[in-house]
Amino acid sequence: MDEKIGSYFESVSVDDRKRLLAEELHAQNKLNIHTVGKWATERLRTAIGGWRVIKNAPNYDILANQSYQQAFQFTPIEMCNNSEEEQISETIIKVLNMAY
């Protein structure tokens, strides 16, 4: 059955796309980690979504879970208030993405 929701990039909410793109660009530019290719990065940036969106996108990001954020003492990059928080958060991102 075709529910006419479009591609993955069109069906992820605008907020989720913005968050995913910001995290990916930070990882690429500051940490030299590429978790998705150029094509996917560009699609995150340029996709125009419809009114039907996926709730809780199916790409699991362990750091999106509040329980894991607290356990790892992780502060999302956009919420870091000082260089120490940023350094700790970047180290956690590096360790969790070592396979990339």
Percent with pLDDT over 90 in the chain: 21
d(CA 95, CA 88): 11
What DSSP assignment string belongs to 41-99?
HHHHHH----S--BSS-SS--GGGSHHHHHHHT---GGG--SHHHHHHHHHHHHHHTTT
Question: Quick check: helix, strand or coil at residue 12?
Answer: strand
Crossing angle of helices 14-31 and 38-46, in 10° steps, is 140
Place of tokens 């993955």: 8
pLDDT tens, residue by residue, 37-65: 999 999 999 998 877 887 766 666 788 78
Give yes or no for a contact between 39 and 24, defined as CB atoms under 8 angstroms apart. Answer: no
Whether the predicted pLDDT of 20 surpasses 70: yes
